[in-house]
Amino acid sequence: MDKIKLTRETIAAKEAEFRRLMEGELTDEVRGQLDNLYTEMATLQGDLKRYEQAEEIAKRSANPVIPGATHSNPEQKEIAKRFSFGDVLKAGRGERAEGFLKEMHEEGVKELKERGLSAGEGVVLPTMVLQSQTRAAQVVGTNNVGGYLVETVNSGGIIEFLGERLVLANMGVMTLDNLTGNVNFPSGTTGLTMTWEGETDDAAETNETFGQVAYTPNRLAGYTDMSKQLIAQGNPSISNYLSLEVRKAFARAIQKAAIHGNGSGIDGIVGTSGIGSVAIGTNGGAPTWTMITNLYRELAVDNADEGSLYYLTNAKVIAKMQQTPKQSSGVEGNFLLNGAKDSLNSLPVAVTNAVSSALTKGTSSGVCSALICG
């Protein structure tokens, strides 16, 4: 981005001018010039940070992250190149797993044994395959459940299902792989407190207290039927397509549970108590600038306004904010969200319809949406 380069060059020039002035006599005029330069450099540093954030957001939008879809090392690239979902399907109908698939099956069985689980029947895929690779009742004879995938003279591409946008990985959400059983993470509940003492007084003792956050396994599963004819006749690209669709289906389910929970055992962000919610009214209401800034305030007063911060919401809220003025009197062009949907209150915005627009608040039943800041 040219603005980044230009801003850096401008900052460097002003820093050089600042050092030059400091070498001379500090007259009142020079002091004023130094103060002005310092203020200008601080402003430019802020602009530079915003330009860099905008560039990062643009890169993320152009290359969305799907859990397991990126190949971050040569081993994963090699696995992605050699693995075929079609071979798994063939093995599932009785053919022996051979070659690379056999190697992966043996690695998967080994992983299960390390976790105290038995493999049972079928093909077991290890985590490394799911990280490098990842439809209902697929049958060739019925067009909309598989028949369209049989090669007649198709264009070579497949029009993908438009699912909810996957945004959590791009937002910097941390994922933990290869966990076994229940996992407890220690968490600090109060920090150390220092006390100003007299020159010869004894120092007061201070201790940090700890709690823990408990995680328990939850099972997410599904299956799809495929006919022998589809496996035999489908274009080879169908293997990669179905593999990707399976992973995206899992990723969408995990994302939705992370935001709203699953109704049993997983609370999600919206269902977690004590995290600083901001209610607009008894029965909900339209977004306001006060509400948006108060969401950030709830983070800041708890010293949680650090790291990768985002606003997260759905397309309906984005559209509403682009039509709602900041002031109650209404000022043309001064909306809660102006133009592009990539920045709100100086923070980036993530948009996915995994954020529900069918929530209930008071008498507003099934029509409310969530806006999350964190």
At a CB cut-off of 8 Å and minimum separation 6, what does 157 contact? none
| CA–CA dist 308, 117 (Å, integer) | 37
Q: Label residue 224 left, alpha or beta by phi (over 0 means left) and psi (-120 to 50 means alpha).
A: beta
Q: What is the pLDDT of residue 132?
A: 55
CA separation for the pair 165, 61 (Å, rounded) = 11
Question: What's residue 137's pLDDT?
Answer: 38
pTM of the model as a whole: 0.61
DSSP for 27-59 reads -HHHHHHHHHHHHHHHHHHHHHHHHHHHHHHHH
> Mean pLDDT, consecutive 10-residue segments, the chain of 374 residues?
80 86 85 85 82 70 45 62 67 66 78 71 71 44 47 52 82 76 78 85 84 81 71 60 79 89 84 80 82 88 83 88 78 71 82 86 71 77
Would you state the pLDDT for residue 334? 77
Identify the pLDDT of residue 135. 33
Task: Please report the pLDDT score of residue 64 as a whole number.
Answer: 45
Q: What is the pLDDT of residue 94?
A: 56
Measured CA to CA, the distance from residue 171 to residue 307 in angstroms comes to: 10
At 149 the pLDDT is 44
> From the CB of residue 111, how many other CB atoms can be counted at a distance below 10 Å?
17
Token code pair at residue 200: 């010869």
Token pair of 172 as six digits: 């910097």
pLDDT of residue 193: 86
